[in-house]
Structure formats: C-alpha cells, structure tokens
Structure 1
C-alpha cells in the first residue's frame, strides 16, 4: 500500500472515532511555511509551555529588543555602541544554533 493511502485511511478513521475533535490549537492558523523546521518549532513550543526556553530563543528575543533600541537611537556614537551589542547577540545566537545543528546531525 502507498503511504498516502495509509495516512488518509488513518486520518479518516480518527475522524470517525472523534479523535480530532476539540484539539488544542483548533481553528488557529498553521505555522507559516519556511518558518524553520516544523519539528524544531514543536519542540520549542513544548519547552516554552513548560517554562524552559532554549538559549537560542532567549537570544532571538534579546536580538529583537536590541533591534528596536537600535532603530530608536539617532546619535552616531550611541548607534555604534548599540550595533556592537546587536552583533554580539547575533554571534551568540549563531553559535547556539550551530551547536544544536551539530548535536542533531550526530544521530
């Protein structure tokens, strides 16, 4: 049997048995395509719900906050300092992401 047939069969069976009713997130849009690896997003969401954000997510939030600060800064000397802070955050985030990729590619 083909995978498409088997998966469609399992979905229809779950519908008949009511297993797809009142699911968490029902009626909400799916994640945007190209928004990273779906399995990673699910893992990050589970960790966030448990109150344990990975360091790279914390750094992403820090980066977004620093970008807002940089956009609001007009003084050239202060902008330079804020750009250094942003570059440092981006570097640390890239290191975290690379470490995660290497860890998962070892399996």
Structure 2
C-alpha cells in the first residue's frame, strides 16, 4: 500500500468519525494570505492547530534551544559535548527536510 493511500484512508476514517467537524474554521475557505499562500505553511498550521506537529518542527525548536544552551556553556569539554548535541540535531533536521522534499517531489 502506498503512503498516499494510507494517508487517504486515515483521513476518510477520521472524517467518518467526525474528528474534523469541530475544527477551527471548518467549512470556511482557507486564508491563503495569512500563511503567505504556501500550501506547506497552511498544512503545518492546520496540523499544529490539531495538535499534530511534524518532527521537522519539533527538531527545529530543539536546534534553537540547543543553540542557546551552547551559547551559555562554559568550558571546552562542556562546549564540545553541547556542540555535538547541536550537530546531531541539525543533521536530524536536515534528514527530515530532505525526506519531505523527496516525498513532495521538490
């Protein structure tokens, strides 16, 4: 089964269960100007409002937080440890972005 078929079946199941009935803005057209018109931005916003944040967004926040930790860290050994954590998070973030680009054919 293709991923798109799986996603479609999950959407249809949620729709049948009424999970989309009480979403903010249900039945109204999307405001394309609020998100810069990007379908990706609109999708991320809708998922965030529904409490389903993509790993890419979580990793982006983790990278920002780790950068702050690194900035405040003193001592060469401690900085190396924190820098290693930051590099790992950045690598994971780029892997998620690359997976998204490949999935959407960008």
Question: TM class, shorter-chain normalised?
Answer: 0.5 to 0.7
**What's 2:83 paired with?**
83
Structure with the greater alpha carbon radius of gyration: 1
Displacement after TM superposition at 1:30 (Å)? 4.9
Distance 2:34 2:53 in 1: 21
**Consecutive unaligned residues in structure 2, runs of 5 or more:** 1-28
List runs of 5+ in structure 1 lacking aligned partners.
1-22
Q: Aligned to 1:63, what secondary structure does the other structure show?
A: helix
Aligned to 1:65: 65
* TM-score, length of structure 1 as denominator length: 0.64
Tell me, what secondary structure is at the counterpart of 2:74?
coil
The count of aligned residue pairs is: 77
After superposition, where does 1:11-90 map in structure 2 within 5 Å? 30=34, 38-90=38-90
Runs of 4+ in 1 over 6 A off after TM superposition: none
Residue 40 of structure 1 deviates from its aligned partner by 1.2
Quote the RMSD (CA, aligned, Å).
Answer: 2.6
- For residues 24 and 100 of structure 1, what CA distance do their matches in structure 2 show? 22
